[in-house]
Amino acid sequence: MLKKLIKHDFLAQKRILQPILLSVLIAGIGSGLLTFIIHNIGLSDRLGWLYFFLVILSAYYCFLSIAVTAICTYVYYYKNLMTDEGYLSHTLPVTATQQICSKFVTSLIWQLISVICAVASYAVMSLLLTLTFGSNDQFIYFSKILQKIFFNISVYLTIDMRWFWLVLLTITDSFATVFMVYLAISIGTISALKHKVLASIAFVFALNVARVVVTQTFLAFFEGILANNMDLETMIVTSFLNIVIAIVCFVFTKSLMEKKLNI
């Protein structure tokens, strides 16, 4: 039943998120192509401001879409489980655990797709800009700076397998963030008689502050013990805390849905 629920949730969110992510690809490719065409037909002096504006706007839009996708998945959780629509959702022969896990899995999938689309769009746009301005001295100088930065980052990540812990930190942070938002929405919906959305947003900020305080407290405690390689230890400790936070938020969210939720 969980597989069917995941499929249903994925397709339900597809109606909203697919156009957004397609527009990300179109924006990046379109701005890159327009820049290439304007430059090659000799209109750079007249319309240089236009492609500069479009490239900057597209670059921001590419990465803004990641946040928009995440917000859309959280809104879907709220509407599907906490509003009148949730009355029908809770009549399905599934447990609260299955409901939460389905929303969690589909949220992560769509956020991963949004990252892939944003990176792909940005990469294509960068490739077209390279083809357009590849012979420009300033562009070559800027490219060398970026290459040096990425080289230094790659060298840093290979030391003590930092790349592995960085990937683990990213994954666990995503887990903790999604479950924390679910808990905030559940608390806000149950505790507020009116303005449930505002209450949910307020609890998101409150829980995030609590999460930061807990994380910084643990890191301060370990700073004196693991001072030899603090960067690596910070990633390890934070990853562990993210797992604990995700589990705690999941347990409380499940408990609220089973005992306190009244739609």
| Domain extents in the chain | 1-133, 136-263
Q: Is 29 helix (H, G, I), strand (E, B) or coil?
A: helix
Farthest-apart Cα atoms in the chain, separation: 68
Side-chain-side CA neighbours of residue 253 (13 Å): 29
Rounded-to-integer distance, Cα 88 and Cα 161, Å:
48
For residues 34, 38, 39, 40, the Cα torsion angle rounded to the nearest 10 degrees is: 100
pLDDT of residue 209: 93
- The structure tokens 């990937």 sit at 167
Task: Divide the 263 residues of the chain into consecutive groups of 10 and give the mean pLDDT of each group.
Answer: 84 90 85 74 62 74 88 91 70 81 93 90 78 58 57 58 78 93 91 83 93 85 59 80 94 84 57
- The structure tokens 């629920």 sit at 5
Question: Which pTM was predicted?
Answer: 0.82
pLDDT of residue 244: 94
pLDDT of residue 173: 92
Confirm if 118 and 23 have CB atoms less than 8 A apart: no
- The structure tokens 């449930």 sit at 196
| Distance of alpha carbon 112 from the chain centroid | 8
Rounded-to-integer distance, Cα 207 and Cα 228, Å:
31
- The DSSP output letter for 83 is S
Rounded-to-integer distance, Cα 14 and Cα 10, Å:
6
What burial class does residue 232 get, using C-beta atoms within 10 Å of its C-beta: 0-12 exposed, 13-18 middle, 19+ buried?
middle
**102-120 burial code (b ≥16 CB/10 A, e <16):** bbbbbbbebbebbeebbee
The packing angle between helices 2-40 and 96-133, to 10°, is 10
pLDDT of residue 97: 87
Please give the radius of gyration of the chain, using alpha carbons only, rounded to the nearest integer.
23
192 φψ region: left (φ > 0), alpha (ψ -120 to 50), beta (else): beta
